[in-house]
Amino acid sequence: MVRRSKSALVPYGIFVTKNCFLFLMAPIWLLGQTQQSISEVWQSDQGDGTYVNPILHADYSDPDVVRVGEDYYMTASSFNCIPGLPILHSKDLVNWQLVNHALPKQVPLDVFDMPQHANGVWAPCIRFHEGMYYIFYPDPDFGIYMIKTNDPNTNWSEPQLIKSGKGLIDPAPLWDEDGKAYLAYAFAGSRAGIKSMLMVCAMSPDATRTVENDVLVFDGHEKQPTIEGPKFYKRNGYYYLFAPAGGVSTGWQLVLRSKNVLGPYEEKIVMEQGATPINGPHQGAWVDTITGEDWFIHFQDKGAYGRVVHLQPMKWKNDWPIIGKDQGNGIGVPVLGYKKPNVGKMYPKVTPPDSDGFDTTSLELQWQWHANPKLYWGFPTSNGYFRLFCQAIPEGVTNLWDVPNLLLQKWPSETFTATTKVAFRAHEDGEKAGFLIMGRSYAYLEVKQEKDELYVSQVICDNADLKGIETVGKSYKVKSNELYLRIVVNKGGKCLFSFSEDGKTFKNVGEGFVAREGKWIGAKIGYFAQRKGITNNAGYLDIDWIRFTP
């Protein structure tokens, strides 16, 4: 990664001074990392030995975590967004840095070259075994894949399909003391035609294949509907399946245990919403600390904000876990805040990145596309911009829902102001660019050239996923192609749009817009550039910076 002139921090790379070349070599693993950052809009760490939930107020859904020594690594669902399978690193379970993506492109390539909303990477599982890191992830239309690496900060192996079949989801491996290996998984009713059941099959110890001896180990139809997302552990001679039930936004955390890997399994609810505002508290990871504490990381579905990540204290009683604050009945409820985990040391604050100066030779890690990217969609420039080219609207597409070249990132907080400086250089009338809030319904600030003049307006599309039609509001002629665009997000996902030509005085544009989630993902913010028809020399949007402030 090479830092350029807009950044005050230039720690690695090759630099040219007036009289000489200066070579500074970075460790290879740093080339896959963003610089450490601290968000201005959300910090869980309170700086006094406590934290507040969520630890990540961003859409890292279906989180799973593994501890290796003093290091924690998290991954999460990414669905159709690419690069996929984010890798986050922490030393204390509260402060997380986004360090990599394990999936630079999604396979099969021809399928994911176009947006596949709600498809792709569902709930993954990350594990460490005999010196290797593994991620098992399901694609509900193809089956269960495995990837691995000896360093999660660098490249992961190509996806290997180890169990094919529609509707096979939520894989979780377990390597037993006797050398045998197993894989637990669930069913997606939308593809398999069956659901609310957990399965276990044998797996080769190298995790390259499964054995077709699948056994139903738990049927949740009677008391635990929509049971899914199992995580497989072993403790004190018991095999445990931690599994959510009851549905994404309304469910609870169930734990199953047995002395036999294939059951039968006892069941116990170990966490529920209770009287707290944390709905559907479930699906996540049990981890411990080097000091012997136990913790549980899970998500909460917050609609347009996506599935945000919470951290709960956990303790054991009679070989059953209790997650959160014990209500006195052995069932925990989520805590809104707590003392930080004791990991033996104190570590500085860090958060996933949100603001970006676009002054590196590659996109920072918070950015994702809606499909496998193409080089000509956009790339960094040598003078510190990201250049996004106007791409032809795909044939038969009625709105942005099925447009692949959307450059977007997760919302970082419940409320924030996002301001960006851009320059739009159209080559022909009709070319346009947008600063976008994307979801099932969406809205954006449009900069468009008409009759060799530039105009700014607000565009809204309701029910984009149902082929809704865009409506364009009042247009404002602007003198310069350099503009400052702003979106203010208030509680409830209420968005206000404005622009400025000098960066000081902003003019409100259009009406308020209430954001909606996408399919299994939260609303996102970012950019696109578009035109009708193919050309040999498209216009482009130069993105100078984006800043997230309270």
* CA dist., res. 350 & res. 411, Å (int): 17
**Using omega within 30 degrees of 0 as the cis cutoff, is the peptide bond preceding 281 cis?**
no
Interstrand relation of 294-301 and 432-438 (parallel, antiparallel or unpaired): unpaired
List of residues 6+ apart from 537 with CB closer than 8 A? 427
CA 549 and chain centroid, separation: 21
At residue 259, what are phi and psi to the nearest 5 degrees? Answer: -85, -10
- SS3 string of 161-229? EEEECCCEEEEEEEECCCCCEEEEEEECHHHHCCCCEEEEEEECCCCCCECCCCEEEEECCCCCCCCCC
Reference 438, options 400, 396, 387, 392; nearest CA is 400
Taking CA 102 as the corner, what is the angle to CA 100 and CA 107, rounded to the nearest 5 degrees?
Answer: 145
**Which is the catalytic residue, given 64, 139, 170, 228?**
228
Identify whether 228 is a catalytic site residue. Answer: yes
Contact 137, 122 (CB under 8 A): yes
Contact 306, 58 (CB under 8 A): yes
Strand order in the sheet with 494-500: 378-380, 386-389, 540-549, 416-425, 482-490, 494-500, 507-514
Distance, first Cα to last Cα, the chain = 29
Identify whether 62 is a catalytic site residue. Answer: yes
**Which is the catalytic residue, given 45, 59, 62, 465?**
62
List of residues 6+ apart from 18 with CB closer than 8 A? none
Q: Which residues are catalytic?
A: 62, 228
